[in-house]
Amino acid sequence: MLNYSGFSKLSTVSKHSYHISFSSQAFLSFFRIAYSTNMSGDSKNQENAGKKPQETDNAKRLLQQSQFRNWIKADGSSEFPAEANRYHLYVSWACPWAHRTIIARSLKGLEDVISMTVVDWALDRSKGWSINPGRPGCTADDVNHAKLLRELYEASSPGYDGRITVPVLWDKQKKTIVSNESSEILRMFGTQFDALSKTEEQKKLDLYPVNLQKEIDTINEWVFENINRGVYKCAFAKTQEDYDTPAKALFEHLDKAERILSKQRYIAGSQMTEADVRLFTTLLRFDRVYYVLFKCAKKQIVNYPNLWGWVRDMYQKPGIKKTVNMEHIRKHYYTTFKELNPNAIVPIEADISFDEAHGREKLSA
């Protein structure tokens, strides 16, 4: 869960959320620590989890393992069975990790099966994510009637003092958080709710097909480490050396993705998988946010013919375009990270269109 008050993607820990108030120095220190760990579900176990480089009290707290890592199973083998109208998803349109789960919910036709609340794009680090239905693009919490996302964490674990992150998958029956790990929620939506998908086509859509699982896992690992997380390593580097290494790796792996996508329509082959979803949410934000705010300024995605075509191909998929709220994305990033943008000025928007023809159908043959 990306811990946006301290962006952490931690191994076996949740990776996509935002946390709460601490000093600018602790915030940046946290990032340096987080980069030495792996994020749950995204990387190779926890080989660095026991290491404690320069941990501040706040950073230690943010590096706690996720409290909520339960699984929903279609076969009823877990205490959380796949059932209609039982689960509720809390997300931010702005967060790339939460966006993964929104896309999976849409692609699999689960909007009438799993309800959803969209939090405010404005993140108050002293309080965490808030629920503000008066803000355009945000929705009310008709399940718990919460005003702050923190209320759900405290209801699930009294005295909870960990990270407050999005996404959150809530069990309306047990009145508790099922999971706050985006990669696992994405996987659950993509594989455990087939019987509840709205259409036959959505039911057949397999985002983690057996024959591609090894390839998907490999791609997820290098994309996560060097691209998903790489942009944050660049943004919050404290020295030139800290910046140069991840910046080099970021663009080397964008080049790698460009080469792969010059030969095939999707990142893992001829069909769209969860690996595409996980790469897409970062590249969608790249030119509008990361290129400018996060100092990822060597090249824009529009400068990569195949990556740029692939982004448009993904964006134009039925069910994906409606999950993109660029106003929330831009306002959140440019106003939240005062360390990077002290005056919270939202720059003029890049003159690019995701609706331009992509021509990638020919690669499906």
Q: Which residues are catalytic?
A: 95, 232
The C-alpha angle 20, 22, 26, rounded to 5 degrees, equals 125
Q: Which one-letter amino acid corresponds to residue 236?
A: F
Alpha helices by DSSP H, the chain: 24-34, 57-62, 96-107, 150-156, 182-191, 200-204, 213-223, 230-235, 240-261, 274-285, 291-293, 305-315, 326-336
- The Cα–Cα gap between 78 and 44 comes to 24
- The Cα–Cα gap between 104 and 126 comes to 31
Query: 207-237 as b/e, with b when 16 or more CB fall inside 10 Å?
Result: bbbeebeeebeebbebbbbbbbbbbbbbbbb
Omega of the bond prior to 167 within 30 degrees of 0, cis? yes
Q: Two tokens at 322?
A: 């409606």
User: To which residue do tokens 């919270």 refer?
Assistant: 344
- The Cα–Cα gap between 271 and 283 comes to 19
The contacts of residue 248 (CB under 8 Å, 6+ apart) are none
Q: Provide the β-strand partners of residue 170.
A: 88, 177
User: To which residue do tokens 């005295």 refer?
Assistant: 159
Gyration radius of the chain over CA positions: 19
Q: Two tokens at 121?
A: 């794009």
C-alpha to C-alpha distances, 23 to 8, 141, 150, nearest whole angstrom: 16, 30, 20
